[in-house]
A and B are shown apart, each in its own frame.
Chain A
Amino acid sequence: DAGVTQSPTHLIKTRGQQVTLRCSPKSGHDTVSWYQQALGQGPQFIFQYYEEEERQRGNFPDRFSGHQFPNYSSELNVNALLLGDSALYLCASSWGLADTEAFFGQGTRLTVV
């Protein structure tokens, strides 16, 4: 049973560019949440997708957007990249919208230069 998988593992982008990160949830899970983790900090909630809709959003600008597909996989898009967007981006999957076990992928390390 595959857990949460993310791609790519590492990515280097230039300031101003756009990036798309991908996530496949754990089998049986239908909810995907995205988090940003800066070095030495805890993960910060970006947004949550359920039934192909954004259900909750953290304190992130509109440059951060996402999508969920019918197979529950998800994408995170970041436009007009800033140096400060450099971080580990984590995807977490869970079942439904209640507070329940959430499992994380290994993350995508994004470096903006």
Chain B
Amino acid sequence: GESVGLHLPTLSVQEGDNSIINCAYSNSASDYFIWYKQESGKGPQFIIDIRSNMDKRQGQRVTVLLNKTVKHLSLQIAATQPGDSAVYFCAEGMGNNQGGKLIFGQGTELSVKP
């Protein structure tokens, strides 16, 4: 069935290091992906998105990589800060006649050690 999953449920990094959060998706027809950050007690916060006609997109301190061949998505956070501590979700847009419907993975908890 449809699913978006994450390889690692938890990730602990030292402040200042780079973080890489991975995600696998199963629907090869999907052409839109979003990364969200969710802090405790808050709603998901949009970080960055990417469409399938791209394999890389950069934002402020973040980079998303998309490998359609192996259906893999990653989020790289440069110079990780304590404020980056949160749960990170990748979400897959279903496209076609299901535009706007997002399928979320389980999430990866990022912990930044000072």
Contacts and interface: CB of A to CB of B under 8 A. Distances in A.
Interface of A: 4, 6, 31, 33, 35, 41-45, 48, 50, 55-56, 58, 90, 92, 94, 96-107
B100 A105 contact: no
A48 B43 contact: no
Contacts, number: 70
Give chain B's interface residue range (CB within 8 Å of chain A): 20 to 34
Nearest to B36: A104
Interface in B48-83: 49
Given A43-B102, A99-B31, 19 more contacts: A4-B43, A6-B43, A31-B100, A33-B102, A35-B104, A41-B107, A42-B104, A42-B106, A42-B107, A48-B100, A97-B100, A99-B32, A99-B99, A99-B100, A100-B32, A104-B36, A104-B43, A105-B43, A107-B43
B44 to A, nearest CB: 5
A94 to B, nearest CB: 6
B44 A99 contact: no
A19 B45 CA distance: 26
A58 B49 contact: no
B103 interface: yes
A48 B34 CA distance: 18
Contacts of A97: 99-100
A56 B36 CA distance: 22
A98 B95 CA distance: 7
